[in-house]
Amino acid sequence: MNSKWLKIFLLLMIMIYLFRENIIYTPVLNIFSNQKIKGQIINEKYYKRRGQFTNQFIYYYKFSVNGKDYSNPSYDEKYKLGDSVLIEYNETFPFMNRIKNQK
């Protein structure tokens, strides 16, 4: 019986980890106070599915808080290398961030 509950618990933890952006990060950014900062699109690419064959990719954005750099994929093809973007991030956990007008 304990083995069954352990498997269910592990499956639940894996699901939370895989979908952490929608389960944890987005609600934190929507509910708690955020800071805004300017960031920039950098020359780091996030290839879409089969993107290495089709050359479909999006760029990452980068910003700094207290001397530490953070970056994430922009998830939008409209951004070009060198563009400035407004980023909102959680004050306590800056790794939870997004481009301001994306929800």
pLDDT of residue 51: 66
Number of domains in the chain: 2
Is residue 26 located within the same domain as residue 53? Answer: no
- Residue-wise pLDDT for 83-96, tens only, equals 999 999 999 999 99
pLDDT band, residue 102 (cuts 50/70/90) = low
- Residue-wise pLDDT for 42-78, tens only, equals 999 988 877 677 778 899 999 999 999 999 999 888 9
Is residue 71 located within the same domain as residue 23? Answer: no
Dihedral over Cα of 28, 34, 35, 37: its sign: positive
pLDDT of residue 62: 97
Is residue 14 located within the same domain as residue 59? Answer: no
Is residue 38 located within the same domain as residue 27? Answer: no
* Domain that residue 21 falls in: 1-31
Is residue 27 located within the same domain as residue 68? Answer: no
Q: Answer yes or no: are the C-beta atoms of 36 and 86 closer than 8 Å.
A: yes
Is residue 26 located within the same domain as residue 59? Answer: no
Is residue 92 located within the same domain as residue 75? Answer: yes
Is residue 27 located within the same domain as residue 39? Answer: no
Q: Answer yes or no: are the C-beta atoms of 61 and 49 closer than 8 Å.
A: no
Is residue 73 located within the same domain as residue 26? Answer: no
Is residue 83 located within the same domain as residue 44? Answer: yes
Residues of the chain above pLDDT 70, percent: 95
Is residue 17 located within the same domain as residue 47? Answer: no
